[in-house]
Amino acid sequence: MKRAFVEYNLKLKANSRALRNNSTLSEVLLWQKIRAGNIMGYKFNRQKPLGNYIVDFYCKRLNLVIEVDGSSHDNNYQKDLIRQKELEKLGLTFLRFSDIQVKKDINSVIREIEIWIVQNINNPPSPLFKGE
């Protein structure tokens, strides 16, 4: 099944790299668990530019964005909501976890991601899908 490419603002590339080099502890902890196909064989990217935004984690095959909401999100709820709605229009789905949740109960976070994958694997979101 072939997926369409989600375009992004090329000006975000350097910022994306900087964010990867300055990840929060919870982002590092989650990355250690989901990198290199560790979750059911699905590959995730971190600090991935999509559209005019950078998301914490992204799996192209699943059209799934995972966000870790820490102190940087405290005063940005409205911005986060607008950003999420714009990206959802592209066919992306969001899972959000709190910084504390990742730090204190990473196993439950991983389980929730796996449950989402199992429940959605045969029902992929459109319009990013082309063909069979």
List pLDDT tens digits, range 53-108: 999 999 999 999 999 987 655 557 788 889 999 999 989 999 999 999 999 999 99
Q: Which residues contact 49 (CB under 8 A, 6 or more apart)?
A: 8, 9, 12, 13, 16
Q: Is it the case that residue 12 has pLDDT exceeding 80?
A: yes
Q: Which residues contact 56 (CB under 8 A, 6 or more apart)?
A: 27, 30, 46, 47, 65, 66, 67, 68
Mean pLDDT across 40-54: 94
Query: What are the residue boundaries of the structural domains of the chain, listed by start?
Result: 2-123
Quick one: pLDDT band at residue 124, thresholds 50, 70, 90?
A: low
Q: How far apart are CA 48 and CA 71, in angstroms?
A: 20
Q: Which architecture, in CATH terms, is 2-123?
A: 3-Layer(aba) Sandwich (3.40)
Tell me the average pLDDT of the chain.
Answer: 85
Q: How far apart are CA 5 and CA 118, in angstroms?
A: 23
Does pTM top 0.85 for this prediction?
no
What pLDDT does 128 receive? 47
